[in-house]
Structure 1
Amino acid sequence: MSAEEKPPSVLDGGWGWMVVLGAHISIGFAYSTPKALSIFFKEIQNDLQCSYSDIAWISSIMLAVMYAGGPISSALVNRFGSRPIVILGGLMCGVSMVAASFGSSIIYLYLCIGVIGGSGLALNLNASLTIISKYFLVRRPLANGLAMAGSPVFLCFLAPLNQFLLDEFDWRGSLLILGAVMLNCCVAGALMRPPSQPVVLKKVEDQSNEVSSIKDSCGQNVKKLLDLTFFKDRGFVFYLIGNLMFFFGAYAPIVFLSAYAVSLGVEEYSAAYLLSIMGVVDMFVRPGTGLIANTTWIRPRVQCFFSFAMVFNGMCHLLCPLITSYPLLVVYTVFFGVSFGMVFALIFECLMDLMGNQRFPSAVGLVTIIECVPMLLGPPTAGLLVDISGNYKSMFFMCGGVITLGGMFLFTMNVCRYHTLKKEQSSADTEQAKPTGSANQGQANISEVEIQTAVSVETDPNGRNC
């Protein structure tokens, strides 16, 4: 085991909780900013004379770049560590909002908010998730839940804050102030001290050997960045398909929630507070879900628990078009917050459960870059449906239907996978228990190797069936 692969000397505590606090802040801005920006969309739409589909591209590009930047962020974290990468990401986020405040075209906003801001969020997100996996093992689900709770906490105060800023300073002044607020990500990055690791003294024979070592390291980083062997893992493929369907419909209901409430006759501040209500509910659900996922009964079945959360989320959106009053809209928002919080408290824990700590940084980079496609297309497609139909019902039906189907697919495939793994393990145990004679010794050994190879595909580096 190399020095980079050795676990830190202190796991599940100590400075790790300060790292969780930094990740809470960093992840909070990463996930809440694209949602909270929707408060400005109606004013930007009127000022720049663009359609619902055009305005939805702002959040879509920001989210897509955030996810597409995953592999680059992972490579930078592997090279420089989490602390400088999060600080750099915070600077990019602040600069992007300040620059966007001077925008006079929708394309300019795509570049500043979408590309530059999304790149900064990508650095923040992946670096935070990676360092948590290095500090926690037994309490990892709880640590992930607390860190991911940053999204609802920040959404809770960013939504009404943005509405206040919009009323006082219009959307340009609001973006200028928001850019200054996002510089707090630099403070979060300062908390992410690298975990202590054993010092390994290595004799450098000569300069040529050192250069060769650097080249080998670069080659290994490239292989990790483009590690397509993940697709040989059935659990990973099922997880990825379910996630693609979820992310296609996940963010459009949030982007258009305030506008939908206003279309029902709700006052603007009350409509903005719907995002805060969702944030408050989400705030408690994420750590609570982390605690539940850490129980002895749920943790071995965490993939199925994740599937249930997806179906729950999709059903909420399917029922939303039936709502005709503000109190019922609040009820929808509460259930939306519960289901959304459950999904995002489990989404990276499930990937860690499948891949293990050592392969997680590479896996999360590959997953996020693939997920950027539905992230990019989902909200604009929903906005196009609103432009065509003239109402929001078709948008909610589309998003709810896609998410529900994704959750049902993931649940079905996971049940089948668990059954297959159990059957393969049972067959392996039976073969080992059979008496072997000289005549059939070779055949028995071959069968046993084949079974063990099949089982090992679904086993993490610690030898635990995923």
Structure 2
Amino acid sequence: MTSTSAPSRFFYGWAIVAAAFAVTLLGFGSAYTFSAFLKPLEQEFGASRGEVSLVFSLAGFLYFALGIVSGPLADRFGARLMASLGMLLVGTGLVLAGLARNITEVYVAYGLGVGIGVGCAYVPAVGVVQRWFVRRRGFASGLAVSGIGLGTLVMPPLAAWLIDMAGWRQAYILLGLFAALLGIVMSWLLVNDPRQRGVGPDGDPLDAAAGKNAAQGITVGEAVRTRQFIGLYAASLACAFGVFVPFVHLVPYALDLGISPASAVLLLGVIGVGSTAGRFFLGGLADRMGRHASLVLMHAGIAAALVIWAVAGDFWTLALFAFLFGMFYGGWVAIIPSVAADYFGGRHIGSILGVLYTSVAFGTLIGPSAAGFAFDINHSYRLPILASIAVSLIAAAIALWVTRPRNRPERST
């Protein structure tokens, strides 16, 4: 291998980013269509808002918790296999949800199918991006997970349109087939290590230093005993209690205000616009201003946005909330994997992210469903919104503690 002209023309790392982008778009986009189905499921099965919200919480718990399994499996067997399996399960879960005869079958089909499917695909797809980049890790990671933002923008309105055209059952079936077919095709672009393509991270020539950058890193057991991991875990856990509440309850909140169904679903699209902007721009900005300090700002920004939701009473105020919330939420999701790779290296990053994301799993399981049951009791979202603000501020304080210079491992880049 004497020439480096091929890598300079096209660095395959960008194909990895494109594949991860597609997987996150289809996986999370399918999951975040749930708000559009909440009212039809309530009406079809006579279930309460808390009972229906639990479907999403179960799926959310699984797709973050299962990273503890899919991350190590991807480190060993490759992200391609795990992501392909995940997208097949997402599609199958949606199709079976469309065939459900009662709310319990929706729990099993959507909760388990989509939950396990995204859990198999997400950490492997995002983890492999970290190995392909070092200098532009924040930007590349932001691009990859901006698929979540675009999925939030396009998939819920698509689902709402399909529901109007063909009913909620056919909508689930069509979305499932689309997600499985395209998701599996894009998953096959994933390659675990840049050395398999004859280059180092960032497209650098494959020399000893580049190879070391691709392979270095501490083990999971070593990582989980560090103060950095404990702090990241605690901050993510606190943030997740509140950050997923809008994805389930913003649409019904808007409907309760008398906003039209089309405009209410559009608010999820606004979150998607903000999320895409946050992942794309804030991820790259974090490379320049410091990824660790940027993480603190993301938590604080989420709290500030939720304050707007607490006082919102019309569509335009809710739209402002949705955009700002989406932007800071998107930045948070983009920066977390890069910060973890900075602290712990890339060798076992899939396994480390898998353990780290169990924190998000518990928050996702409890937050949206608790908000739904709180609404059932007092017919107001005020308490869940205020609680979401509080936990976001707690997350910002913990993240600030993590980023103090004396807490940074020597291997941080």
- Give the TM-score of the pair, scaled to structure 2: 0.89
1:214 is matched with none
Other structure's SS at 1:357 match:
coil
Matched, 1:414 2:365: no
Counterparts of 1:323 and 1:12, CA distance in 2: 50
Counterparts of 1:74 and 1:54, CA distance in 2: 31
Matched, 1:42 2:39: yes
How far 1:180 moved relative to its partner?
0.9
Of 284, 287, 296, which aligns to 2:277? 284
Counterparts of 1:231 and 1:56, CA distance in 2: 32
How far 1:319 moved relative to its partner?
3.0
Paired residues of 2:299 and 2:395 also in contact (CA < 8 A): yes
Cα gap change, 1:250 to 1:382, in 2 (>3 Å): same
Matched, 1:382 2:371: yes
Cα gap change, 1:371 to 1:157, in 2 (>3 Å): closer
Write the letter of the residue equivalent to 1:237: I
Of 232, 241, 260, which aligns to 1:239? 232
2:136 is matched with 139
Write the letter of the residue equivalent to 1:319: I
Other structure's SS at 2:20 match:
helix
Counterparts of 1:381 and 1:316, CA distance in 2: 20
Counterparts of 2:334 and 2:249, CA distance in 1: 23
1:293 is matched with 286
Counterparts of 1:393 and 1:115, CA distance in 2: 30
Cα gap change, 1:114 to 1:236, in 2 (>3 Å): same
Cα gap change, 1:321 to 1:369, in 2 (>3 Å): closer
1:432 is matched with none
How far 1:324 moved relative to its partner?
1.4
Matched pairs, number? 387
How far 1:61 moved relative to its partner?
0.9
Counterparts of 2:370 and 2:225, CA distance in 1: 32
1:161 is matched with 158
Of 52, 58, 63, which aligns to 2:60? 63
Other structure's SS at 2:101 match:
coil
1:207 is matched with none
1:190 is matched with 188
Cα gap change, 1:320 to 1:109, in 2 (>3 Å): same
2:384 is matched with 395
Paired residues of 1:247 and 1:378 also in contact (CA < 8 A): yes
Write the letter of the residue equivalent to 1:83: R
Counterparts of 1:109 and 1:400, CA distance in 2: 31
Cα gap change, 1:194 to 1:368, in 2 (>3 Å): closer
Paired residues of 1:28 and 1:153 also in contact (CA < 8 A): yes
- Deviations 1:190-228 (CA, angstroms, capped at 9, x unpaired): 2114545379xxxxxxxxxxxxxxxxxxxxxxx96xx44
Counterparts of 2:166 and 2:402, CA distance in 1: 51
Write the letter of the residue equivalent to 1:188: M
2:213 is matched with none
How far 1:312 moved relative to its partner?
1.2
**Structure 1 stretches of 4+ moved >3 Å:** 9-13, 193-199
Cα gap change, 1:328 to 1:160, in 2 (>3 Å): same
Of 11, 19, 22, which aligns to 1:22? 19
**How do 1:346-357 residues align onto structure 2 when only pairs under 5 Å count?**
346-357=335-346
Percent identity between the two aligned chains: 22
**How do 1:36-435 residues align onto structure 2 when only pairs under 5 Å count?**
36-183=33-180, 184-195=182-193, 197=195, 227-295=220-288, 298-299=289-290, 302-411=291-400, 413-414=401-402, 417-418=404-405, 420=406
How far 1:239 moved relative to its partner?
1.0
- Deviations 1:9-35 (CA, angstroms, capped at 9, x unpaired): 969961111111110010122333222
How far 1:261 moved relative to its partner?
0.7
Other structure's SS at 2:33 match:
helix
Other structure's SS at 1:256 match:
helix
Other structure's SS at 2:47 match:
coil
Counterparts of 1:53 and 1:385, CA distance in 2: 8
Unaligned runs of 5+ in 2: 1-5, 198-217
1:33 is matched with 30
Write the letter of the residue equivalent to 2:347: Q
- Give the TM-score of the pair, scaled to structure 1: 0.79
Paired residues of 1:70 and 1:366 also in contact (CA < 8 A): yes
Counterparts of 2:179 and 2:157, CA distance in 1: 16
User: For the aligned residues, what is the CA RMSD?
Assistant: 2.1
Deviates more, 1:185-194 or 1:148-157: 185-194
How far 1:248 moved relative to its partner?
0.9
Counterparts of 1:138 and 1:339, CA distance in 2: 22
How far 1:231 moved relative to its partner?
3.3
Write the letter of the residue equivalent to 1:335: L
Paired residues of 1:312 and 1:404 also in contact (CA < 8 A): no
* Bigger-Rg structure (1/2): 1
Counterparts of 1:192 and 1:359, CA distance in 2: 17
